[in-house]
Chain A
Amino acid sequence: MTAPPPSSSAALRRLLAEKFPSSQPRPTRVLATGLPALDAVTGGLPLGAITEIVCSAPSCGGHLLFARLLEVTRATRGRVALIDASDSFDPASYSKNAIDHLLWVRGRSVNEALQVADLLVRDANLALILLDLRDADQGALRRLPATVWYRLQRAVEPSGLALVVESSRPTVPSALLRVELQRSHGLSALSCEQSALAAQLEPAVQRHRLQFSELAGQ
C-alpha cells in the first residue's frame, strides 16, 4: 500500500527526513556575534554554513563586524582565518590582543582566495573564516560559476566552523544567511569607541534559510 502524496513542500521535506534520517544536516549551531540586531533574529552565524555579509555602502561597518567577531572568538580562544583577497586588512586598527589568534592570508586575486578558502575550510583547527571579497575584481567574481559556491558550502558542512564571505553585492548563492550593511558611518564615528560602534550596527537580514532538520521539525 502506498502513502498518499504529500500536500506541500514542507510535508515533502518532513517525509524525506523520516525516510532518510542519515542525510539530514546536523542541527543548526551558531556563533553568537554579540550584535543584538543580528543575534535576536538568527541567533548568530550558523556553523557549518556560509554567511554572506553584503556591504552595499562605503564605510558601512563590514570590518567593524569582523572586529566584533575577532573579539568573540578571542574570548573563547578559537582560531580565526582572514582570507584577504584585496590585501586590505590593517592590523594597526586592532589591539594586539585581538589578533593573537588570527591567521591573515594576503591574497592577490579571487582565484587565490577561493583556493585558500577551499584548503582552510577543511582544517579542523579553525573556528571562523572570513573571506573578504569586497574590493576584489568584480568581473572575476561574476564569472565564477555558482557551482564553486555550492562546492564550498559542501566542504564547510561537515566542519564546525563559520565561513563568512564579505562582498559588495550579493554573490554567494549557497549562503545560508545573508545580511546587508547599508548605513555609512559619519565622521563622528572616529571619536567613538570601537565596541560602542559595533553595538550600533544594524545588519538587515536578507536571507535566512532554515536547515533541512529545522524544516523537518516544523
Chain B
Amino acid sequence: METKGHPPSPAFAVLLVVDFALHALLRTRPQSRSRPVALLDDARRKAVITALTPAARQAGVEVGFTTPLALARCPGLTVVVPDPAAEAEARAALLAVGFSLSPAIEDTGPGICTVDLAGHARERHEPAVRDAVLRLEALGLPATAGLAPTPLLALYAARETDTVRRVDAPRAFLDGLPLAAAEPPPALIPVLAGWGVRTLGDLTVLPKAEVVRRLGPEGLALWERAAGQICRPLRRTTPAQTFAAAMVFEHEIETLEPLTFVLRRFIDRLAVDLANAGFCAAELTLGLSLSDETRYTRNLRLPEPTGEAEILFRTLHTHLETLHTTSSVVGVTLEVTPTRPLVRQQGLFETGLRDPHGFAETLARTVAVVGPDRSGTPQVDDSHRPDAVTLVAPAPVVPSPPAASVIPIMGPPLRRFRPPLAATVELTGEQPSFLWTPNIRGAITATNGPWHGSGDWWRPDLAWEREEWDISVENGGLYRLINVPSGWFLEGEYD
C-alpha cells in the first residue's frame, strides 16, 4: 500500500557515489583502483581512515584505523588525503551526467546528485538512469542510483543497491530498511533500541503523535524520514557557464601517461558538459604549470568544431607527444572554447576534407617528424628574390580550378639544390665552357644567358644581385648556373 500523498510513479533519481572523496582521487591515478589505497581524514583531531579500496579491505584494513595500524596490517597500503581540486572535478563530472538526465538537478552533497525526472516519459526513467550510471563508471566514478517518488526515498534506494533500484511500493521498501538508513540522532539510538525498534517499519507502526510526545522534534523529523513522506523542492544547480578543468598534481609529472590519463578524464567530462549545453569545441587551450615556476600554454584550434571526446583527446595527445618541457609538470588546465555545431550540407561537387580531424592529426604528426615550418602548401612570395617561398596551412577546401592562364608556364620545372652547389666554371670569352662541382662535371655544350637580376638594393642586409645561365652539360643534364658576388653556383637541374 502506498503512503497517502506520494505521486503514483517515480519522479526523482539520485546518483550516488559512495566514498566520493576517495573515488575522486582514484579517478586521476591510473590503476589505483586495483591497489590497496586508504583515504585518511586529516581534518579530525585524530586522523583516521575513512574510506578504502576493496584491495585494502581484503588486506585487513578497516575504516577507523589510524595510519600506523593500517600500515601494520598492509605494508603496501597507499594512504592518501582528500584533494579538493580532484573532488571539484569529480563533482563537475557527477553534475554533468546529472544534467544529461534533466535540467532540474540538485547538488545534494558530496557524491550525491538528485535529479527531478518530471516531464520524462515514465518508461524512459530506468533506462536513462542505468545509462547515467554507466557513464559515471566510464568517468571513473562507480555510482549507484535510486528511482523513487521523493528525493529522500530515491537516496535510500541508491544506498541500498549496487546498481540501480526503482521504488514502486514505498511502504514495503521502507519497512525492511534498517533504522540507520534514516540517520537517527545518536541520543535517540539507545532509546529506540530499548523499544525494540530495529527497522523503519518498526518505527512507523508507532503512532506519530506518541513518538513526538516522547522524543520531541528530533523524533518527529526521524519519524517523517522513516515514513519517507518528505517531498521537498530541489535547490536547483545551474549548469556550467565555462568549460574548463584544472588540477594540481601531488607529485611532479615527468612522463606522458599520467598527464594524458588526467586529460582524458577532463575531456570526457567536458564533452558531456558541451553536449548538455548543445555546444561543440572550437578550440582547446592547454596550460601546463611547470616545476620551474614557468607556464606553458598552447591554443589548439580544431579544424572543424566537434564534441567528440575521442577526437578532442587525440588532438591533445598528438600535441603532447611532440612536446618537450624544460621541467616536470606540476599542474594542468584545460579550457574549451565552445561554439555552435556546424550545420551544413556538403555540395555535390564539393571536395572538402573527408576527415578534417584526421588530416589535422596527420599534419601534427608530420610536423613532429620534420619539424615546424617544414610542411604546408607553398605560396610563392610577391618578390623577384630567388626561392622566396612561404608555407601556409593547407586550405580546408580545394578551390575550383580557374580558367587556364593565358601565359603558359615555359620549360621543365627546376629541381633546386638547397644549398646551391659551389661550382668552378671555365669561361671561353664570356661564355661558360666547362663546369666542375663535387657531383657534376663536364663540358658545357650549350648555354642561354646571362640574365641579370637584382633586388632589395635599398635593404643592405637583404640586397641581392646575380647573373643567371641555363646550361646544357655533356652528361645530358640541363642546369641553372648562377654567378653571384661570392662565386659560381649550380642552383638546380631542369627536370
Contacts and interface: CB of A to CB of B under 8 A. Distances in A.
B493 interface: yes
A44 interface: no
B409 A94 contact: yes
Interface string A41-81: 00000000000000101111111101100000011111100
B473 to A, nearest CB: 8
Contacts of A140: none
A96 B399 CA distance: 12
Interface of A: 55, 57-64, 66-67, 74-79, 87-108, 112, 115-116, 119-120, 122-125, 134-135, 184-187, 189-195, 197
Contacts of A92: 380, 386-389, 414
Nearest to A62: B495
B351 A77 contact: yes
Contact of A190 (B395, B478, B493): B478
B190 interface: no
Nearest to B494: A59
Contacts, number: 191
Contacts of A184: 476-478
A105 B365 CA distance: 12
Contacts of B440: 58
Contacts of B478: 58-59, 184-187, 189-190
A108 B495 CA distance: 21
B413 A186 contact: no
13 contacts: A59-B412, A59-B493, A63-B412, A63-B414, A75-B401, A77-B398, A88-B418, A89-B416, A100-B399, A103-B375, A125-B358, A186-B472, A187-B478
The dominant DSSP class at the A interface is: mixed
Given A59-B477, A90-B416, A189-B478, A106 B374 contact: yes
A135 B477 CA distance: 14
Contacts of B472: 186-187
A97 B359 contact: no
Q: Ordered nearest first, which 9 A-B pairs have the shortest CB separation?
A: A58-B477, A184-B476, A93-B413, A91-B378, A77-B351, A190-B411, A63-B495, A59-B478, A77-B398
B408 A194 contact: yes
Nearest to B472: A187
Contact of A123 (B351, B358, B494): B358
B415 interface: yes
A100 to B, nearest CB: 6
A102 B389 CA distance: 14
Contacts of B376: 103-104
A124 B355 CA distance: 7
B405 A194 contact: no
A179 to B, nearest CB: 15
A88 to B, nearest CB: 4
Given A79-B394, A125-B359, A88 B389 contact: no
B211 to A, nearest CB: 72
A76 B408 CA distance: 20
Contacts of B36: none
B327 interface: no
B448 interface: yes
B370 interface: yes
Contacts of B355: 123-125
A102 B399 CA distance: 12
Contacts of A112: 369-370
Contacts of A57: 476
Given A90-B413, A124-B355, 17 more contacts: A58-B440, A58-B478, A64-B413, A88-B417, A100-B377, A100-B398, A102-B377, A104-B391, A116-B370, A120-B366, A123-B355, A124-B354, A185-B478, A186-B446, A189-B412, A189-B494, A193-B409
Contacts of A88: 415-418, 492
B32 to A, nearest CB: 34
Given A107-B370, A125-B359, A190-B494, A185 B418 contact: no
A103 B394 contact: yes
B405 to A, nearest CB: 6
A119 B380 CA distance: 27
B45 to A, nearest CB: 60
Nearest to B374: A106
B375 A93 contact: no
A185 B412 contact: yes
A93 to B, nearest CB: 4
Nearest to A181: B495
A46 B410 CA distance: 29
B375 A59 contact: no
A123 B362 contact: yes
Contacts of B255: none
